[in-house]
Structure 1
Amino acid sequence: MDHQRTIATISTALEHTGGIQAMFLSGSHATGLADTYSDIDFVMVAEAGATDAVSALWRDAVAQTGEIVLWWDRTTVPVLINAITADWTRTDVIILKPDQMGHQTQAGLKPLFDHKELHRTLAKAPSPAQPNAKKLRYQIEEFIRILGLLHLAVGRAEYINGVLGVFHLRAALVELMIEETSAPNRGGILHLNRLITDEQKAVLTGMPAPVPDRDSMIAAHLAYAAAFLPRARMRAQALGMEWPERFEEVTWARLGKTLSIECPYDRD
């Protein structure tokens, strides 16, 4: 079943159900950024909130769109239900009480039905995200900490698990690049292409692979350090954030003593 039919089927199934006040699309289907590969995000407003009875109503509605092969019912977030049907259509719903709608905005929701006209009571758009120096400080310190663990992984010859450090460093670099672009509507994890620039993509695609041997693991850590740390310094300077200079200094000193490697960028 295509997305529009899925949306219409679920909406029709619940529109005249007692206790269900409104149904909205959220995520990419609300902002006009959806494609064939998008999941379908809903926000449902129920008088009773995310009860077992409301969950059962939602399951019955989703089942009308196809065989349910995965059902996560309020397992990670107490108001969130995730489902996948046999054709791999993914539907997520957040079930809220009317008084829990305060964090929603008109720009982030597309009404399917709205019996109480809740949509017009919402703020038109979210406040612009502000740079977060505290978050950046943590990201930088965590990057340096993981970089410093390289000497443990090499010392123990833990190359299979050691490459996990490369994935953590890569994730930190990607997050920093997204923050550099301040891209709105970030979406899910598989929306990176529209969030970063061609220059940033070239940096990421040029990174070495996380191969589980000593030389490759060291080379990958150094490559990510050379890509991340100068960018992070510029970002920190722009936000007026103090750089963890001493932490980075002793980390490079430790890596130099144990692995005979040097900082791959000009720290001045």
Structure 2
Amino acid sequence: MESHQVIELIAGKLRSEKQVQALCLSGSYGAGLEDGFSDIDFLAVLDHGTLDTFAQTWRAILSDIGEIVLWREFKRTDLLVNAVTADWLRIDLLGVNADRIKIGRARNGLEVLFDHAGLLGALPEVLEDTGPDPKQMQYQFEEFIRILGLMPVAMGRREYFNAITGVFHLRNLLVSLLIEETRAPHRGGALHLNRLITHEQKELLASLPALVPGRETAIEAHLAYAAAYLPRARKLADRYAIQWPQRFEQVTLSNLSSKLGLDVSHLLD
């Protein structure tokens, strides 16, 4: 079944469900950025106290589309369902109550399928960009330095495969930083990156060493990622007045120098 047919089928079945006040597409489809590989993200506004019953309704509807081979359901304040059918159609649902629909949402990221109560029309057209979350960025800065600082442990134990896992985490933190630099809207899921970063940023990622286990290769990779990350992270912290963990950075680099005999002068601010 084609994606547009799935969307029409689901919207048609839910339009008469009394517990559903509104239904729209979010994610790539909601922003008009979908391609042939996109999953389908639905946002449903539900009556209070209906999360459990709607989860059952949702599963029955998806079963009409195809065999469900993966079902992950999470219920707290909201209802989140991730489903995959036998033909690998990925369908996600976020079910929220009406009083939570305005949290972090704007009309330009949604395609309304129906809205019985006129709730979605009250959303702002676009969200104001207030910059990155300071607490999240400070955590990421500290985490990068912490992982970098574990290099003497991995080298001392000759845990070169674990060292490469550390570089993998450094790479993920670098990618997150690059996305924050561009402040690209409609970021989508983990499989969207090409449209979120610039040509210069892609060249930077391509220039970094391959992840190969071994003492020299692991050290080279750690230092290369540090050289790519730290100056850019300091610049972003300064731009948004986010506290930089300067003392933690200083003692970490000093420890790398003393324990491994490395020249880290190029990494200093």
Secondary structure of the residue that 2:142 maps to in structure 1?
Answer: helix
Q: Deviations over 1:103-142 (max 9, x none)?
A: 1322222111112222222232222232444433332222
Give the stretch that moved more between structures: 238-247 or 208-217.
238-247
What is the match of residue 38 of structure 1? 38
User: 1:245 and 1:119 mapped to 2: Cα distance?
Assistant: 44
Is the counterpart of residue 162 in structure 1 residue 163 in structure 2? yes
Give the stretch that moved more between structures: 23-32 or 69-78.
69-78
User: 1:39 and 1:69 mapped to 2: Cα distance?
Assistant: 15
C-alpha deviation, 1:85, in angstroms: 0.6
Q: Deviations over 1:32-89 (max 9, x none)?
A: 0011111101011221455322111111111121111111122688510111111111
What is the match of residue 80 of structure 1? 80
TM-score normalized by structure 2? 0.92
Q: Is the 8 A contact 2:19 2:50 kept in 1?
A: no
User: Which blocks of at least 5 consecutive residues in structure 1 are unaligned?
Assistant: none
Secondary structure of the residue that 1:237 maps to in structure 2?
Answer: helix
Give the stretch that moved more between structures: 99-108 or 60-69.
99-108
What is the match of residue 91 of structure 2? 91
Secondary structure of the residue that 2:65 maps to in structure 1?
Answer: coil
What is the match of residue 236 of structure 1? 237
Is the counterpart of residue 226 in structure 1 residue 227 in structure 2? yes
What is the match of residue 254 of structure 2? 253
Give the stretch that moved more between structures: 125-134 or 253-262.
125-134
Kindly report which structure 2 residues correspond to 1:78-227, keeping only aligned pairs within 5 A, or say none: 78-103=78-103, 104-227=105-228
User: 1:160 and 1:7 mapped to 2: Cα distance?
Assistant: 45
User: Which blocks of at least 5 consecutive residues in structure 2 are unaligned?
Assistant: none
Q: Is the 8 A contact 2:227 2:267 kept in 1?
A: no
Cα distance 1:45–1:235, how it changes in 2: closer, same or farther (>3 A)? closer
**One-letter amino acid of the counterpart of residue 140, structure 2:** Q
The percent of aligned pairs where both chains have the same amino acid is 47
TM-score normalized by structure 1? 0.93
The root-mean-square deviation of aligned C-alpha atoms, in Å, is: 1.9
Cα distance 1:75–1:213, how it changes in 2: closer, same or farther (>3 A)? farther
Cα distance 1:44–1:167, how it changes in 2: closer, same or farther (>3 A)? same
**One-letter amino acid of the counterpart of residue 69, structure 1:** V
Secondary structure of the residue that 1:43 maps to in structure 2?
Answer: strand
User: 1:39 and 1:170 mapped to 2: Cα distance?
Assistant: 25
Q: Is the 8 A contact 2:154 2:160 kept in 1?
A: yes
Q: Is the 8 A contact 1:143 1:169 kept in 2?
A: yes
Q: Is the 8 A contact 1:70 1:83 kept in 2?
A: yes
User: 2:19 and 2:10 mapped to 1: Cα distance?
Assistant: 16
Cα distance 1:84–1:257, how it changes in 2: closer, same or farther (>3 A)? same
Q: Is the 8 A contact 1:10 1:64 kept in 2?
A: no
Cα distance 1:165–1:14, how it changes in 2: closer, same or farther (>3 A)? same
